[in-house]
Structure 1
């Protein structure tokens, strides 16, 4: 077993206290948005050896195919899409050939990987994920009665479907739209919400986002997206090509080992409209709640189709005095997500973890077992015969 020290990201949408409190470190004067656990070159984890020495996790494992994040959102993230593998390979090669530095603000493709991801909620977690059906978008836009919403409604009603929705997104991102029109839409949403008329929280969401981005066209795009709320212990899977924006809450994310993000608004970062539209034009992608499978009584396995990654969440208490054996794999990242636990192995290895601390378990850590009172989340690559979770599509 190898104890890890992980990189921290201070993005402006992060929370000054959620992650510090989770880690038991108190508050922060700066927003802390993410903790990265893995081998991505932009923020690789460090292995802390027993003799006091340190080395990159990648020196031990090579490039892991997945990455784990602890994410805390105090304000909306950017509206974004993650690319497919072919698009990522093309985009990465193009920017490498152009000599764009990896950490340049306008760099889009940080690697050649696709980025499907799964969110496991540690608190109530709100997101915008995927487009509403055409009929529902028309129901949302109709009562707003502004010039822009009327134009959008007319075009969608004339040709309902995913392709037209993508065209509307492209128009909103490229047209010279008066920001006063965005303000009018927000005020219309506010007025309807105040008299109790809302459609699946669309107007409430627009008003909430406008508090942070009052004239951003992303507020209008948000009206066209599903709002999903996860309670602690629930999970959702987002395939590549899904437009989304996390709104608030604390979660563990497991994803392919990538930092490729194409943005559509609600951000001060670079927006690549053409690249984002190209991702969306790949067709409807899967957005689903993940129904876990039980492994014995103490472990839930969230394993979405595709085999890129899985997450096993184990609860340990006095009900299992001999401990609970963890999922076996060729290697896995494990984080304590609650309480205080001890991990032991057949070879006599032992490590104590408090909430927020993490270790890497390699193939030699046979019989890894968790003891104590708490919860651990273990990310790994499932075998071909592993459990596959049932996915309940959002739309």
Structure 2
């Protein structure tokens, strides 16, 4: 077991307090947005061995998964992550074009797809996936500006996923004028004043407009589902799913990738047509994950991907023996509350408080968690994931 030192990212949408408080005041000041735990080459974690700091990659090799702490005080960009085929092709094309890996206008930072899961640490609001056609039409019809009438007419001509993508492409390829965006915002403000809303579409647009008052991406906000996660709830965002986190702090677990295609609501590089290329079907469904309960202390959130799953275990001092740390193989463990100890099979012990993270190697054998607190563990699922779960009678 190795205690991790992790890279941080400060972006304009980050929080000046959330991550700092979570890490016990040890993080850098400023707007911290992310803490990276893993081996991605743009920000690998490090460990201390015999008094020397070494990259986690040297110890563990390249890990297929990455864990992040994310804190947002304002909306993130409208974005999509590519599937495996598009990631390989995009990465190769940008390499061939000689675009440096850390260039701000680069979209593909690695050749990997990027499905991801969010686990809420605070109330967490996000936009994820398209609304159904009928719901989008109700949203647009009530706004009733020339732009929204045009988009609604186009969607009626071609309903369903392909039609929704088509009107998104119309917006990003020929962005509406500032005046058209202002009309949409004004109409939404009038509707909210009349206590009219369609599943939080207009209030959401007004919240985003406070930060991006005339961004063409505001029109696209009307097309997307709003999802609110309470602490302890999780959602899965597969590759090709359009989304935009709004506010809150969460754990993200994902493949070890940093590939993002953006279409608006950002000061970063946008690639709207690249985003359209990455969109995939099945996007109107909500993304909540119902965990499996293992024993009495562990919830396992296991989306249908090979690279990662998340287990969250709560232990109490009344259980002197503690409980086994969930998962096998390479694991990244993060203490999300309280004070616990990880005890390896060789008797070595590692105390953790909230914000501390650890790499657990396959050779560490059975590791137990004791104390009073909560530990989240990112791991690669196996055939035995969530075995022996408790099933309630219905």
TM-score (norm 2): 0.96
Q: Are residue 38 (structure 1) and residue 23 (structure 2) matched?
A: no
Preserved CA contact (<8 Å) 1:17 1:27: no
Equivalent residue for 1:113?
A: 112
Give the paired residue count.
Answer: 387
Task: Tell me the SS of whatever aligns to 1:301.
Answer: strand
Equivalent residue for 1:284?
A: 282
Q: Using the alignment, how far apart are the partners of 1:124 and 1:45 within structure 2? A: 27
Q: Using the alignment, how far apart are the partners of 2:213 and 2:260 within structure 1? A: 23
Q: Using the alignment, how far apart are the partners of 2:131 and 2:315 within structure 1? A: 39
Q: Using the alignment, how far apart are the partners of 2:175 and 2:162 within structure 1? A: 22
Which aligned runs of 4 or more in structure 1 are off by greater than 4 angstroms? 26-29
Equivalent residue for 1:52?
A: 51
Greater displacement, 369-378 / 168-177: 168-177
Preserved CA contact (<8 Å) 1:2 1:47: yes
RMSD (Å) for aligned C-alpha atoms: 1.4
1:91-120 per-residue CA deviation (whole Å, 9 max, x = no partner) reads 001111111000101111000000000000
Preserved CA contact (<8 Å) 2:175 2:216: no
Greater displacement, 124-133 / 151-160: 151-160
Task: Tell me the SS of whatever aligns to 1:184.
Answer: helix
Listed as ranges, the gaps of 5+ residues in structure 1 are 391-395
Equivalent residue for 1:102?
A: 101
1:26 to partner: Cα distance: 7.1
Q: Using the alignment, how far apart are the partners of 1:176 and 1:138 within structure 2? A: 20
Q: Using the alignment, how far apart are the partners of 1:115 and 1:320 within structure 2? A: 38
Preserved CA contact (<8 Å) 2:4 2:45: yes
1:318 to partner: Cα distance: 2.6
1:186-217 per-residue CA deviation (whole Å, 9 max, x = no partner) reads 11111111221101100000000000000011
1:385 to partner: Cα distance: 3.3
1:126-141 matches, within 5 Å, as 126-141=125-140
1:1-395 matches, within 5 Å, as 1-25=1-25, 29-49=29-49, 51-280=50-279, 282-285=280-283, 287-387=286-386
Q: Using the alignment, how far apart are the partners of 2:174 and 2:231 within structure 1? A: 40
1:176 to partner: Cα distance: 4.4
1:119-147 per-residue CA deviation (whole Å, 9 max, x = no partner) reads 00000000000000000000011111101
TM-score (norm 1): 0.95
Task: Tell me the SS of whatever aligns to 1:347.
Answer: coil
Preserved CA contact (<8 Å) 1:170 1:277: yes
